[in-house]
Structures are given as C-alpha cells and as structure tokens.
Amino acid sequence: MIIAFASSTGEKIDQHFGWSKYFYLYRIDQAGAEFFKTVNAETDIEDEHEKLNCKIEAIGEADIMYCTQIGPKASQMVQAAGIHPVRAAEGEALKDAIGNVIEMLNTKPPIWLLRAFHKARQRSA
C-alpha cells in the first residue's frame, strides 16, 4: 500500500493538504516501509477546485494521505479519488506515523486501514 505524507521536509507531517507543495510517498506493508518517491505538487493555479484536483492527481497512486489539516470539500474530493485522508498532529514524525500504521496492520487494524490495505493488494495482484 502507498501512503502519501504532506510534509515540507520529509521528516515531519507539517502541511495542510491544499497548501502542501510536497508529498513524500512510502510503500508500507506488515513487514515494514520503504521510501517510494517525493512528489512536487506545487502549482500556481488559483482556482481552488482545479488546485485540489492537481494535488489529488499528483498523489493519485496513494491509498492513504496524511496531512495536518484538510477542508471538507478537499476531503470529499480525496475520498472520491479512492484515497483515505488522515489528519495527523502538527509535527508528527513520518517515522512515527509509519510505525503506527505497521503496528496497526500487525495487531488490530481499523476498518479504514483494512480497506486501503486490501485495495492495494488487489491492485498489485
């Protein structure tokens, strides 16, 4: 499964979805995580709907997206694209968020995580 993190540095989750210039994508499964790539989602588009579509397209291969904040309209658009948005605490370390996802996968995953995990497995099969 691929998780996108809205981050200015790749170390901490510190960006609002709609304002994030970069997303750091990781492949994550029950055994661990591997950095996949950095996506530049910077845009000079002023129309909010178009800007959100551009950001969603940039992280389109993600199953889950972590950010510090996301508006209701953007959240609906992200979910419609098949990506589950997750709000994280400002400054949460990516390594901690990744560790939490792996721990949840290996213990008692919430239904939203199971759905994302199984969707990703079906896609790669």
What contacts 71, CB < 8 A, 6 or more positions away?
Answer: 17, 18
pLDDT at 104 over 90: yes
What pLDDT score was predicted for residue 123? 81
Give the pLDDT confidence score for residue 121 in this predicted structure.
87
| pLDDT of the residue at 122 | 87
Number of neighbours of residue 113 by Cβ within 10 angstroms: 18
pLDDT for residue 101:
97
**Domain regions of the chain by residue span:** 2-124
44-48: long-range pairs with CB below 8 Å, 24+: 48/18, 48/73
The answer on pLDDT for 46 being more than 90 is no
pLDDT-based confidence at residue 110 (cuts at 50, 70, 90): very high
Segment 92-111 shows an average pLDDT of 96
d(CA 81, CA 36): 20
Is the model's pLDDT at 91 over the cut of 80? yes
For domain 2-124, give the CATH number: 3.30.420.130
pTM above the 0.75 mark?
Answer: yes
pLDDT at position 45, please? Answer: 86
